[in-house]
A and B are shown apart, each in its own frame.
Chain A
């Protein structure tokens, strides 16, 4: 099959030696997940030619269940972006309208699924990178609770937020793929022992769904919120109790997210200097000069911008003003979600405030690009799980319904998502 959407960076096909519930199933993998003997670049020139000597834990699990690793998918470089335009390999196109972006950063995985190239893919979600492209391409995407899926072998960008998650054509496949990758891994010290049995059933009756008013506020497209309200109406018809809730600290979410992720990125990306992998530094130059040359040529504009922001926010005199305050905001946001989820079984709202923008529409202004993440980052800050399920179209493009669950409450949101999917 030709890759007309530029969904792939590398189309290698590798079959695992195991057999199990994914026997013969082709699964595409975001290019920031390490695959032994298959080039893994994070869509960056700085990792061109890098061949991981080991598999990420999720790849070991997929191979053990008989899956075929079907190519490495395009993404925003190191996961930094919301459109899959920040890639050294060019933008991925949205299969629903090729003049539009697929969303990001796991845009290649979403396009591969939406374009019918595979039925399952893995993405990673730091601030919405699974759910955003799932919503904009009209597929299902699950961001697991922090710690439920091992990050071993996931090339780190902002490790206190990120999780690997399934992207699939339907909820049953998302549950199946999640059951393969969830569970304890001693190689990730934040991994928890909470496997998932994969028994997804359509179940929504009697559940209480909170609707945070902040998810329908200023900046949310009327067409999008209309479709999501219709979907919530459907859930009510199926027997759910709908209640209004509020997350008052959400106004701090986006700045707290961007301060924290850029700080973590500035540290995590320090390892890319060309010495152990990547382009060779000039050995006869003083080391700062040699590394600067490698990094200036190897990293794209957005990656360098975030490293600069993070370095600044962690520097003497600014650490208390930015990083420490961001951690306080994180605590407040987590408390807001915990309070709302004490009375509610889950929360619901749009995944993205708008439909997929045209190619080039968001790239000129980084701040505008960051603001597209307003409805997805709060979940990463709180650490809770969330799923995006297709729910109709606005302006002829797919809209995503976002269901957010209690910590380790993936079962509840997967069951609710299935109930919705089967009813429409």
Chain B
């Protein structure tokens, strides 16, 4: 069983926010879903995980791309060609 304080901790890790009004219900639903996932734990590892894939590489050549102006078009008050973000400390 996952407890309310664990759900709060996960919400903090994910920067998702969760109000005290929602917490009880989210925790209840969370546990019901995890219980449903439990059947996976009965599975024995079926040997190494294989993916029939090959790496896709290309030459490191400059090709047309979107402009700096376009890339910033949806941001708020960009400055000197940079986006603005909240303070980190």
Binding site for B on A (CB under 8 A): 49-51, 53-54, 186, 189-190, 251-252, 254-256, 258-259, 266, 273-278, 280-293, 295-297, 299, 301, 304-305, 307-309, 311-313, 315, 321-322, 324-329, 331-332, 365-367, 370
A331 to B46, CA, bound (A): 8
Q: Which among B2, B30, B43, B88 has the greatest number of chain A C-beta atoms within 10 A?
A: B43
Asked if A51 contacts B74 (CB within 8 A), the reply is: yes
B7: A residues at CB distance < 8 A = 308
Asked if B86 contacts A284 (CB within 8 A), the reply is: yes
Asked if A329 contacts B40 (CB within 8 A), the reply is: yes
9 pairs, CB–CB < 8 Å, chain A vs chain B: A54-B70, A252-B39, A254-B36, A277-B75, A283-B85, A283-B87, A304-B17, A312-B34, A366-B33
Asked if B16 contacts A307 (CB within 8 A), the reply is: yes
User: Does B60 sit within 8 A of A, measured CB to CB?
Assistant: no
Asked if A287 contacts B74 (CB within 8 A), the reply is: no
B87: A residues at CB distance < 8 A = 283-287
Q: Which residue of B lies closest to A332 (CB)?
A: B46
Say whether, besides A273-B15, A328-B45, A367 and B29 are in contact (CB < 8 Å). yes
Say whether, besides A308-B7, A308-B16, A281 and B71 are in contact (CB < 8 Å). no
A301: B residues at CB distance < 8 A = 22
Shortest CB–CB separation between residue A290 and chain B, in angstroms? 4
Say whether, besides A275-B84, A312-B10, A326 and B33 are in contact (CB < 8 Å). no
Asked if B13 contacts A276 (CB within 8 A), the reply is: no
B26: A residues at CB distance < 8 A = 305, 308
Indicate with 1 or 0, residue by residue over B36-80, a CB within 8 angstroms of chain A CB atoms. 111111010110011000001010000000100011111110000
Shortest CB–CB separation between residue B74 and chain A, in angstroms? 4
Say whether, besides A276-B75, A292-B15, A325 and B49 are in contact (CB < 8 Å). no
Shortest CB–CB separation between residue A31 and chain B, in angstroms? 16
A283: B residues at CB distance < 8 A = 84-87
Shortest CB–CB separation between residue B77 and chain A, in angstroms? 8
Say whether, besides A280-B76, A291-B86, A258 and B58 are in contact (CB < 8 Å). no
A342 to B88, CA, bound (A): 56
B12: A residues at CB distance < 8 A = 288, 292
Say whether, besides A308-B16, A332-B46, A255 and B39 are in contact (CB < 8 Å). yes
A152 to B2, CA, bound (A): 38
Asked if B36 contacts A259 (CB within 8 A), the reply is: no
- From B33, B39, B74, B76, A370 is in contact (CB under 8 Å) with B33
Asked if B18 contacts A296 (CB within 8 A), the reply is: yes
B49: A residues at CB distance < 8 A = 327-328, 331
Shortest CB–CB separation between residue B23 and chain A, in angstroms? 11
Q: Which residue of B lies closest to A335 (CB)?
A: B46
A308 to B22, CA, bound (A): 13
A399 to B10, CA, bound (A): 40
A287 to B22, CA, bound (A): 23
CB-contacts of B1-29 with A (<8 A): 2, 7, 10-19, 22, 26, 29
